[in-house]
Amino acid sequence: MGALRGFARFVVGFTFIFSGFVKIIDPAGTGLIVAEYLRLAGMIDVPLLAKFAGAILSVTELVLGIYILLGLKMAVSSKVALAFISLFTLLTLYLAIFNPIQDCGCFGEALKLSNWQTFLKNLFLLALVLIIYFQRSSFIPIAPVAWEYSFAVFFLLFTLFLSVYSFRHLPMIDFTDYRVGRNLRELTGLQTNRSEPEFETILIYKKGESIKEFAIDSLPDSTWIFVDSKTKIAGGITLPANNLLSISDRQGNYVTDSLLFSGKRIFITTLPRITKSVRLKLQKSVKLREELLSRGYNHIYLTGASVQEADSLMAALQVADSSVYFADYKVVITMNRSLAGTIYVTDGIISAKWSRLDTPLEKLDEILSEDPDYLSARLRMKSRIATEFTVLGLIALIMIIRYLCRFVYKHKVKNENDI
């Protein structure tokens, strides 16, 4: 039974650590996943609430995985793990049967599973967690109680630091389709030998608490109030199902090709949403724009907000309307997880990305003089090394603490019995 107990602890611990880690380093992406669940529960869309709930979920998973793998406080850890996995097994069963959400987000952007695959995975984990739960009294404490509490606090602080760091910067490693080095042509579905896409303008109206979309030829009566409009591709070409990159100007004209695939370098500041506080967060972006324009480079703002919201902000910043373009909110926040972050694109290839706090004002000359392919390779290598160092360092620390403490603690208990 000891071997089965050890196997269950190892698999459950590693699974929780992996699941928690890939979500904790991508808080914006985790927030999108949580927002889907909140909408499913009938709650309003509050991005900050979704991010906060996602952070709690990620920290809980990662800390719980560390505790179980390390063997800390197993009486409590096993109960929390059982409650956790039981809840999500029931939830994923509902998702598998009714399919209201296609991506459960269990492993963030790192690993995509269907709802049925996720449910079966949770059933397997539930069986292992039950072994841990019923065998919880058989786990040998690895250290005195005071030590266990110290280790628990240390790893909790570590995960909180990782969460806060990830909120302020870009994900340590980017698993999205818009990672550095990606050719954006692969995400547009457009080829030079294909016909031009056909577009349809959708008008959005509101009446009381009801919001509906209408085609131009079927507008509602005067009791409905116009809210916004959007343009979607209605035909003419075959397009990928997910993460479609479609950029339009304020008139709804498709401009993705002319902006990104002209052979020129372009810097993009992403604004997924526009709120009252956004203007204060654009100081570096405005300075970067001024520096780029003075050197003859192109800079644009890409937003998922409405035309009216964008016009209001750009008027306050004294930025020309022609420098603002529009795309789907999820695409914008996937392109760069940071509000007012910057993307450097060279002939359709993402050469670099920065968060708002890391906007490369001081290193702009160095970046512009560096070969874009070399810059892309260097940033990808840096990201990979940082991730591997963090993950391997964490696992190594867990293993060292576990076996070193159990060795020391055994000798200590033996010496006390001899007295």
Q: Does 332 lie in the same domain as 411?
A: no
User: Which of 17-20's residues contact partners 24+ apart within 8 Å by CB, and which partners?
Assistant: 17/61, 17/62, 17/65, 17/66, 17/69, 17/394, 17/395, 18/65, 18/107, 18/110, 19/61, 19/65, 19/106, 19/107, 20/58, 20/59, 20/60, 20/61, 20/62, 20/63, 20/64, 20/65, 20/159
Residue 84 lies in a domain: yes
Q: Are residues 27 and 63 in the same domain?
A: yes
- 405 shares a domain with 349: no
Tokens read off for 235: 């035909």
pLDDT, tens only, 241-254: 445 788 999 888 88
Q: In this predicted structure, what is the pLDDT of residue 415?
A: 45
Q: Which residues are within 8 A (CB) of 194 and not within 5 positions of it... i.e. 6 or more apart?
A: 237
| Same domain as 400, residue 362 | no
Query: Do the domain assignments include residue 26?
Result: yes
For residue 228, pLDDT over 70 is answered with no
Residues 280 and 345 in one domain: yes
Within a domain: 110: yes
Q: Is residue 197 part of a domain?
A: no
Q: Tokens for 44, please give them.
A: 């309003």
Q: Specify whether 361 is located in the same domain as 391.
A: no
pLDDT-derived band at 42 (thresholds 50, 70, 90) equals confident
pLDDT the model gives residue 295: 92
Cα radius of gyration (the chain): 25
Q: Is the pLDDT of residue 353 over 80?
A: yes
**Domain harbouring 271, CATH code:** 3.40.30.10
Does some domain include residue 233?
A: no
* Judgement on whether residues 389 and 327 belong to the same structural domain of the protein: no
Per DSSP, helices labelled H in 169-306 are 256-260, 283-294
Q: Are residues 366 and 389 in the same domain?
A: no
Total domain count, the chain: 2
Is residue 47 included in any domain, yes or no?
yes
- pLDDT value for 198: 56
pLDDT band per the 50, 70, 90 thresholds, residue 410: low
- At residue 207, the pLDDT reads 81
Query: Looking at the domain assignment, is residue 179 inside a domain?
Result: no
278 and 345 belong to one structural domain: yes
Instruction: Looking at the structure, tell me whether residues 83 and 129 fall in a common domain.
Output: yes
Note down the domain range covering 48: 2-168+385-418
Same domain? 353 vs 411: no
pLDDT-based confidence at 417, cuts 50/70/90? very low
Pick the more confident residue, 133 or 320.
Answer: 133
Summarised one tens digit per residue, pLDDT across range 62-77 is: 999 999 999 888 999 9
- Clarify whether residues 340 and 413 are in a common domain: no
Task: Report if residue 402 sits inside a domain.
Answer: yes
pLDDT band at 217 (very low <50, low <70, confident <90, very high): low
